[in-house]
A and B are shown apart, each in its own frame.
Chain A
């Protein structure tokens, strides 16, 4: 079965600074990869996803992620963080044509003024 690891439990960045959240996956073939964001007490909002094709994926709210097969990674980036980006971020890995999706433990982002 597939699995996903988010090595960073908590990250703090200053407003306006760049951001990179790490995500590593384990799966024998090319998986489907997702990044979701969750604000406190809310559900999850899809930021972006990768199924195939261009390995650099653009998402909503200025986020992007790059699929690197050689590193089994799908790191999330944003060039300039806004205070409203403070939230919990989840990376998830799915299997094509299968409903089984696994979530990472999440990375909590704090944005300093």
Chain B
């Protein structure tokens, strides 16, 4: 149980385009989903927290207009990187919990912006 999927696993895009990453909880309803960014050989940096049906809460320094988060259902959250630039290249990981104080992580999405 507690499986979280992400799609796509890898994406390469041109600078200036937008990219959407999906995060799904497959076997449980996620009251809260989280989006992290991880740079090579570094820890996870929390970008934002989203609850189903409400606006996401962004961490300080994260541009909400750049990283659009939608949590339309209890099993799906999306992160859209708008007008992506090479510095947005990173590993993006989502997680979800069902109100049990335990986060279950997706496999991550490798974004490369050319």
The verdict on A105 contacting B105 (CB below 8 Å), with A99-B34, A99-B49 known, is no
A101: which B residues are within 8 A, CB to CB? 46, 103
Q: Could you count the A-B residue pairs with CB atoms below 8 Å apart for me: how many are there?
A: 45
Give the size category of B's interface with A.
20 to 34
A106: which B residues are within 8 A, CB to CB? 42-43
Interface check A11, CB cutoff 8 A: no
Interface check A44, CB cutoff 8 A: yes
**Would you call the interface of chain B mostly helix, strand, loop, or mixed?**
strand
Q: How far is the CA of A104 from the CA of B43 in the complex (A)?
A: 7
Shortest distance in angstroms between A100's beta carbon and chain B's nearest beta carbon? 8
The verdict on A42 contacting B97 (CB below 8 Å), with A34-B102, A105-B42, A106-B43 known, is no
* Cβ-defined contact, A90 with B107, below 8 A: no
Give the size category of A's interface with B.
20 to 34
* Cβ-defined contact, A51 with B104, below 8 A: no
Instruction: Give residues in B with beta carbon < 8 Å to A.
Output: 4, 6, 32, 34, 41-44, 46, 49, 91, 93, 95, 97, 101-108, 110
